[in-house]
Amino acid sequence: MKLIHHFWNCLDTVLDGFSSRLCYGCKKAYSDKENKFYCEECFSQLELSYEDSIKNLAFKLTELEEFFGGEVIHYPRVHFISEYGELTKSLMREFKYRKPHYKKLWLSLIESFVLKNKDSLFSGLEPEQIKLYDLETLKESELKIYLAAVPMYKTQLKKRGFNQAELLAKNMQEVINGLNDFVYQTSEGLKKIKTLEFEFLPDLITRVKDTEKLYDKNKLERLEILKDAFQLNPSYKLEENSLLLVIDDITTTGASFMSIYKSFLKTDLKSDLIFLASCGKN
């Protein structure tokens, strides 16, 4: 498996030397070396606005209350960067099962989305709401962001050889390394973040249950199958007023994220929580 991954990385390096490529979307030749998969026109179709990126969970409030075993007062923000459709479906399949170096495309999409929507993404406020604030008068603060990935079960990981969500999560720091000067909703109100620190926690979340395939399951079946499938490492003590950003490759119903959130509620972790998937659908 490692030899196959090495081969694809070498092939990608060789292709970098060519002046033009075939767009994965429209199949036409283009010469933009910054984007190794899509021409500018097709790439622009992948990017979602902040409003369109917000995941509308497929579950009714009563269904979530039953799953969590009590009243759901608040659940974390869930976003996906691009629509799971014709342009992304086959490429995501390649990324998951054959070509880990395809992470470069998804990271480029994440980077573009985060930089364009940083104020709304981290504050939870709509763009129109942010316009009501005089951002120059906000007090400056710093923020610690923890990064984690939705894990695979150990036997599945051994078989595939890599976890595509982890590839994205552990490279997030280099993707948004230049991120600064954005607003964030702290316990003391809205503040401007000037200093940002990242830490990737590879073993924060563990998949403790080997579940069956979910692609042919409905939303409630997925929620039931993933019940107690994840566990958070109790040895971690995240800083207060910090942010935990949990990365996955794709979200459809949001069942995996909700199962992780349920595990999160069982701990004394004080961090804010945002789930972010490279592609998904409502």
**Domain limits, the chain:** 1-45, 47-280
Q: Is pLDDT at 55 greater than 60 in this prediction?
A: yes
pLDDT value of residue 33 = 60
- Counting Cα atoms < 13 Å in the Cβ hemisphere of 225 gives 17
pLDDT value of residue 163 = 94
- Counting Cα atoms < 13 Å in the Cβ hemisphere of 226 gives 28
d(Cα 100, Cα 200) in Å, to the nearest integer?
19
Indicate the average pLDDT of the chain.
Answer: 86
Structure tokens at 130: 């942010």
pLDDT value of residue 3 = 57
The model scores a pTM over 0.75: yes
- pLDDT band with cut points at 50, 70 and 90 for residue 17: very low
pLDDT value of residue 226 = 93
| Mean pLDDT calculated for residue range 249-275 | 91
pLDDT value of residue 169 = 94
pLDDT value of residue 4 = 54
pLDDT value of residue 280 = 94
Cβ neighbours of 118 (radius 10 Å)? 19
Residue that wins the pLDDT comparison between 51 and 29: 51
Q: Is pLDDT at 8 greater than 60 in this prediction?
A: no
Cβ neighbours of 16 (radius 10 Å)? 10
- Nearest one of 112, 269, 272 to 193, comparing CA atoms: 272
